[in-house]
Amino acid sequence: MDMRKYVGANFVTVDDVRDGPLQVQIAVVKEGKYNKANLVFETGETLGLNATNSKILVKAYGPDSDDWIGKEIKLVLGRVPYQGDEIESVIVEPISSPVAAADKAVAAEKLGDFNDEIPY
């Protein structure tokens, strides 16, 4: 019996990037818990996407997560607003070439206002 399905996901945490960034390649984007998407990297590690990281990736690679597959990104330590405070978080930085400017405009239009509160 293949026991990998019982092991669970290995999520990237703030401690994983505290000593320096990680460079990873997106292998799969799938539905996660709490109405969030999860990025699964070719290493097998997973990152649950908060609103900040989702917006960064949509701006860089467009709104269709299928277009994110194979893209190289950097995971760095950053800070994000959360319930009136700022907390440490893993932040994505696109490395692979972004989508064309016209496609970015369409993505931005679909996203709307970027000033909403970030849910966690």
Cα distances from 39 to residues 24, 43, 57, 73, 116, in angstroms, run: 10, 11, 11, 11, 22
Biggest CA pair distance of the chain: 48
Domain edges within the chain:
10-111
More confident residue, 55 or 6: 55
Q: How far apart are CA 74 and CA 53, in angstroms?
A: 11
What's the token pair of residue 53?
């990281």
Residue 38: its pLDDT value, please?
96
Residue 120: its pLDDT value, please?
44
Residue 44 in this model has a pLDDT that exceeds 50:
yes
83-96 average pLDDT score: 96
Topology classification of domain 10-111: OB fold (Dihydrolipoamide Acetyltransferase, E2P) (2.40.50)
Residue 49: its pLDDT value, please?
96
For residue 95, the SS3 value is coil
pTM: 0.76
Q: What is the mean pLDDT of the chain?
A: 86
DSSP secondary structure letters along 38-91: EEEETTSEEEE--HHHHHHHHHHH-S-GGGGTT-EEEEEEEEEEETTEEEEEEE
Residue 50: its pLDDT value, please?
93
Give the pLDDT band of residue 61 (cuts 50, 70, 90): very high
Q: How far apart are CA 3 and CA 78, in angstroms?
A: 35
Query: Please, are residues 91 and 80 in contact by the beta-carbon 8 Å criterion?
Result: yes
More confident residue, 103 or 21: 21
Going by C-alpha positions, the residue among 46, 57, 42 that lies closest to residue 93 is 57
